[in-house]
Structure 1
Amino acid sequence: MPTLPKSKTASTLLAGLFLASALNLPVTGMADENLAGKYYEDALVAARKPDIDAAIIELRNALQQNPKYVAAHILLGELFLQKKSLSEAEVHLNLANQLGADRSLTVKALAQLYLYQLKYNPLLKEIQPSQFNRQLQPDLHVFRGHAYLQLNQISEALNEYDMAAQIDPGRVDAVIGRANALLRRNDLAGATQAVDKAMAMQPGNAGNWYVNGTIKHVQADLENAVKDYDKAIELMPDYQDARIARAGVLMDLHQDQRATEDLAYLREHYPFDPKAAYLHAVLLARNGQKEASIKELEAAADIIVAVKPEYLTQHSQTLMLSGLVNYSLQRFDLAAEYLRQYVKNYPGQPGPYKLLASILLNKNEPETVIDLLRPVVASHPNDHRLLFLLGTAYMNVGKHDQANDLLEKASAGEGGSESIHAEVGLNRLSMGQETLAIQELETAIQKNPGNTQAGIPLVAIYIRNGEGQKALRVAQGLHDKMSKNLTLLNLLGTAQAATQNLKQARRSFEKAVELDPAFITAHINLSKLDVAEKKIDPAKQRLLKLNQQFPDNIAVLIELSTVDQAAGNNDSANQWLDKARILDPKSMPVLLAQMDLKLKTGRALEALAIGEAAELIDRENPQLLQALARSYLASDNREKALSVYRRMADQARLNVKKLYTVARYQIQAGDYPDAIKTLKKALVADEKHIPSQIALTEMELYHGKPVFAISRANNLLKEYPQRGFPHRLLGDIAMQDKNFSLAAERYQTAFDLEPDTALLMKLYQSHKQTGQNEKAFGLLSQWTKKHPKDLVPIAALAEEQLQQGKLKEAQKHYEFLLSLYPNEPQFLNNLAYIYFSTGNNKALSYAEKAQQLAPEQAAGNDTLGWILVNTGKPEQGLHYLRSAHSRMSQNPEIRYHIAVALDKLGRKDEAKQELEEALKTHPSFNGLEQAKALLEKLSH
C-alpha cells in the first residue's frame, strides 16, 4: 500500500502541512511527466553501459519536460562529477537538495565535489556523518578525514579514519587515509605498518601504491617512488594525488617531458587544482618560458586587490570635521581613521577621544578603547563621559571590578543625576544588557518621571516584552509632566493600545490630531487601530484623505500599502511603495517594505535586487540584513544568506536579544554550528536569558555536544523546578538516548506543569516508542475532545487511525481537515490512500491533486505512482515512484513498488535488484510478504 508519512511533532507537522500549499508550484501536465520519466529510464540504461554522454543527453531531455525532476538532477550531478565538470555537478546536486532530495543520495557526491573544489571547511561544516544512516557513515568519515588532512589537522584526520574503520573494519581507504595522516606527522614506522595492513587487505588498491610511493619519496628513494606511483596510476589513471606526486618527483629527477605529460593531463582533467598550475608554472620558468609561467601563476593564485588607503589632511578643523561628517553618515571605519589621526596630532582635547571610543565600542574593539582612554582619563578624572566609556570597555572584556568602579564614578560625577542613569541605561541597552539597562532607566524615571531620555526607550522595551501595564505607567508619567507634548501623547496612546485599551488609545490619538491636525503619526496610528478592529475601508479612507493633504509623506504611502495588503490588494500595495520610492529612492523603510512585499508575493530576485542596492546605503541596518538574508534564501543562495547572518551576529556584539534573534535565523537556515556560537555569545551577555539557554541546550543536543546539553538542562532544572521547559529538555535528551520510558516521565511532568500542544505531541511520541499505543491513542482522543479546534492532534489522531486500519474514522477526520484546508497535500494524499483501499473512484484524482500541489513530497509521489501501477499504467507510475525514492531513499516500501513496476514492464533483473535492496536491511514494511514472493518468482 502507498507509503504513509510517519507521525510528526506539532511544529514539524503544521510546518510541513501549510508550507507545501503556500509554495503554489506550477502543475506539470501528465504527458510531460510521462516523457520525462521515459527519458530518465533511458538515461539509467545508458549510464549502466556506461555511456555517460548519452545518459547526460537523456537527462537533459527529461529536465526539459520537468525542470524539478529530482532523480534526474541527482544522476546528472553524479555523471558531471565523473566527468570532472564541477560547476555543472554543483548546480545539479544543489538543485536536487533544494528540491527536496533525500540527502543520503547526494551527500557522497557533494563531499567529493568539495574535495575537488578545495572547499575543506564547508565539507566539515555541512557534512555530519551522524545525520545519516550507519551504512553511509564510513564514507563520510573518510571524506572528512581527507578534508582534515588537507587542512593539516592530523589528529582530527586520524580520528575520522579510525571512526570509519570502527564502523566498517573492512574499509581499506580508511587504513590508507591513516597511513597518509601518519606520513604527514613524519611517523614513517606507523605509516608503513598501516600501508602494510592495507596492502594485505586489498593489494590491487591504487591508494596502497600511492602511499608506498610517498613513503619512498620521503625517504628520498625517488626512482622507486616513481615506480609505485606508476603502479597507482596504472590501476587508476585519473588518480589526481598520484599524478601530482609523480610530476613532482619527475621534476626532481629532471625528467621534464614525463612531468609535462602528467601536468598536462592534470590541467585538462583537474583544471580547478592550483597545485598542478603551480607546478606547471615552476616547470615553465625553469625552461625559460617566463610569460607562460606567469599566466599559470595567475591561474593558481587569487589576486588580492589592495584597497588604496585614504590620505589624511593635516588641517585640524578639516580633519575633525571629516570625522564628524563621516560619523553622522555612519561611515564608521572612515570616521575612525580621521579621528585616530586627529587625536594623534592634537592629543589635548577629550571630545574627539569620546567620539572615537564610541565608534570603537560599536565596532566591538574594547581592548583598543582601553588603551586609548586610560591616559586620557588620568588627565581628565572627572569627565563622566570618559569614565562611562572606559567603564563600558572594561565591562566588555569581562573586567567587571574595574568596570563597576568607573561606572559608579561616572554616575556619582553628576551627583547621581537621572541624566547619567539614563545614559548608562541606554549604553547597557545598546550592549544587550537589558535587565541592567531597565534598572538604570527606572532609576532615572524614579528621580524624574518626566525624563524622556529614559522614559521613551523604557516604554518601548516594556511593550516589546509584553509588559503593557509597566509601559502604560511610565508613559502616563511622561504625559502628566508634559501634557501638551504630542509625542508623549502619541506614546501614551501606543501604551494604551498595548494593554488592549483600544478606546482609550483612540481617544489619545484623536486628541493629538485635534491639537495638531498635521500630526501624521497619530493619523497613522488611528488607521492601525481601524485595521486591528477589521475596519479596513475606514482605515483606507483615512489614509487617502491624509495622502491628499500630504502627497509627499513617505509614512502615509507605506501605511496605504500595508492596508491594501491586509485587504489582499497586492498590486495596489506595490504601486503605493513605488510612489514612495520615487519620492525618496534611499528611504530604508520604503526599501524594506518593498522587499517584504516582493518576498510575500514570490518575487525573490526582485527583493534581492532591492536589498543589494539598499546595502550600499546602509550596510549595518539589522532589518535590512535580515531582509537580505531572506531574499538570498528565497533565491537559493544559502551561503550568502549565512554570511549575512554571521555579519548580523558580529554587529549585535553583546546584545542578548539581537544575538538570540540572529541565532533563530541561523537555526531556521540550518546553520547549526554558527547558531551555537551565537547562542554562547548571547549567554556571555546575559547568562540568565531563558530563551537562549533553551535554544543552546537544544542545539548542543542535536547538533553539538550532547554532554553539554545534559549539564545545561540539569542546571535549568535546579533553577526552575516548577517550570515545564527543563523537564521537557530532559525528556528530549532521554529521547535522543532512546530511553523512551524516562522521556515519557519527563514529558509527563512538563505537561502537568505547563500543558500545551507541543508537549502533548512529544508525550504522544514517547508513549508510542515505549509500545504504549493505547495510551498514546487515548492521550490524543482525550485532548481532541477537549480541544476540537486543535488541528495538529486531530491530524495525528487521523494518522493513528489510518495506521491501525480504522479507515472510516480516519476518513471522517481527514474530510474535516480537508474542509478547512482543501489544498493540503498530506490530507489529500492520505484520503487518496483510504479511497484506493476502499474502492472509491475518487482515489486517483485526489492522489493527482496531492502530487501536483506538493511534487516535492515523497509520500504523494509514491501514492500516485502505486495507484497508476495498479491501474494498468506502470510506465507512468514508475516515474512518480522514482521521484519518491529520490526523496526517501531508505524507504523499502517505495523500492518494492518500483520493483513491481519494473516487473510489469518486463525489466526483471532490475526488479530483482530493487527487491534485494529493499529486503537487505529492512525486516518489516508494508508489502513485505508480497516482496518476498515476487523475489522468489524472479529468482527462478
Structure 2
Amino acid sequence: MDFCRVWTAVSLLAAMLLGACGDGGAPDAPRKVNEQRRAALEDTIADNPDDIARRVELARVAIKLGDGVGAEAAVRGALGAGAKEAALRPLLARAYAMQDEGNRALETLDGGPIIPEMVGEAAWVAGDVHLAGGDLDAAREAYDRAVHELPRNSALWVDVARFRDANADTLGASDAVDYAIELDKANSAALAFKANLVRTEEGLKASLAWYDDALAADPDNEDALIEQAATLGDLGHYRDMLTALRHAATIVPRDPRLFYLQAVLAARADNYQLARSLLQRTRGELDAQPSFMLLSAIVELELGGEAVAATWADRLLAEQPENFTARRILAAAEWADGDADAALAALLPLVQRPDADSWSLLLASRSAAELGRRIQSADYLGRAAALAPGEAVPFAADNDYGLLTMAADAAPLNPAYAIPAISADLSSGNGARAIARATRLRDANRGVADAHILLGDAALAGGRTDLAVQAYRAARDLDASERTTLRLANALFRAGDAAGSGAAILALQRSQPSSIAADRLSGHLAMDIEHWDQAIAHFERVRRRIGNRDAVLLRELARAWAAKGDDTRALPLIDRAYRLQPLNAGIMEFYADLLERRGKNQAAADLRDKAAQIGR
C-alpha cells in the first residue's frame, strides 16, 4: 500500500468526516436518499475494495440511517483498506456509541492520536457518550471543546441543546437549538427538538407546527414521528397518533417507544389485556423509565395482578419517593391483595399531609379499621368526608437545622444542600433567610424553571405572595405545564387577583387539553359564573378520564344539571357522590333537596336528619 496515497485520501476525507461523526442518528436528508446512496456505495466498493473514501462515506451514510453496526463495519473496512486510525478513530467511536457501547467508544477515543481535523468530532462523540451516561460535568467539558472546534455545525448545536435541556436549562437549550436552525433551516433533528421544547414552554398545540416542519424536512425522522404521535395522543387526536406511529413502525419496527405509546392508547380505551401485551413487547428496554413503571402498575392492577402491580409501584417509588400516584396504586394493590397493614403503610406519607385527598383518606380509614384501629379509622373517615383538604406543605425538613444551614452556607449554589436548608429556615420561622437562599439559586440559574419554582415556593411559604407571583410567572415563561401554571394560579388567587388566576387556568386548559387539573378547575370557574353548559363539558371530560370515583366532581356535575333544570340527570350523579361519601353533610343536603323536588319527602327528611346528626 502506498502510504502517500493513504494520507492524501485521509486529507481529502477530513471535510467529509467533520459532518459524519456527530449526527447522533438523525438524518440530514430523507431516508430513501440515504438508502439509495448506501446501495450505490456498496456496489462501488464491491468493484473497488480499496476505495477508502467510499468506505468512509458509507460509514457516514450508515450513521445517518441510525445503523451503528453498519457504520462500524464500514470503518473497519476502511481501516483494512489502509486508512489511518488517527483519522477514523472518532468515526469508529461514534459507531460504538450508537450501539450503546459508551465505554468502548471512550476507550477508542483514548486509544491513540487523532488528526487535528477530527479533534472536534472526537470531543463531540465524548460529549454524547457522557451525556447518555449521566456524567453532565464531563459532557459539558467535551461539548465546550467540540463547539470551539466546530462553532458552526448545526447538528452539534442540537446535541448541545439536548445537554442543556438535561441540565434543566430551558433557556440555554432554546438558544442552542435556535442557533442550530439558524445555521441549517432544513435540520430536521433541530426542528424536532425545538418542537419538544415548545411543547414544554408553550403547550401541546403550539408544538404541532414545529413537528410538521421537522417532518417536512425529513418525512422519515422517526424521533419526530414518535414525539408527534405522543403529542397527538395527549391532545386526544388518536387517529392521527396511530398514523404517525404506523409510519414510524415502517422505519424502526422494533423501537420500544412504539409499543409503549400503543399501550397507553389501549389503556385509555380500557383494553388492559392489549396494553399488557404491548408493554411486554418492549422487551425490558423501557423498564427503568418512570412512565413505563407507572403504566405497568396501572395495567396489572386493572387485570388483577396485585402483586405485580405492587412490584412496579415499589420500583417507581424507589426512584421517585414523592410520586403520590404510585403510592396510591401501591396502596390499592396491597389492599386488593388482602394486606391492610401494607396498604396503610403505603398511604401514611399521604394521609399525614394536611392536603391529603379523600380517596387516600378513605382507604386509610378502611385499612385502619381492618387492623382494629378504630380511633385512627374514624379520624381518617372524618377528614375524607369533609372534602376540604388543607394547604399543601411545599417543604419538609428532617435533619438538624444547624447541620443543614452550615452545609448550605458552604455551598450556596448546590441545590442538594440549599433546598433542605430552605426547608429548615421556613420550619424555624426564618422566611427571609429561606427566600434569600432561593434567590441566590435563581440568580445563578435564570434559564432553569425549577430555580424560579423554588423561589416561588419559598416566597409563598414565607408570606411573600407578590414575589411568588413574579417567580411563578418567570417559571411559566420557561415551562407552561401544570406544575408551573397551577402554582401561578394559586399565588394570583391568594394575592386577590381572581381574574388573573382564572385566566392562567384557562390558558393551561387551552394549551394542555389533556390536563385533568385544568379541566377540573375550569369547570369550577364556569360554575362560579353560572355557565352551566361549560361547567358540564369540563367536568364530563374529567369523568371520562377518571370514572365515577370522585365525589366532588359528581356533586358539581349534579349541581350544574340541576341548575339547568334537569333533575333526571342530576339525581344519579348525586346518588353516586353520596355512595362515595355517605358522611358528607353538603352532599346529603343537596341530595335531599333533589329528592324533595321529586316528591320523595320522607327520604329527603331522613337525609337531612342524618346530616344534622353528623354536624352535632
TM-score, normalized by length of structure 2? 0.49
TM-score, normalized by length of structure 1? 0.34
Larger RCO, structures 1/2 (Cα 8 Å, 6+ apart) = 1
Higher Cα Rg, which structure: 1
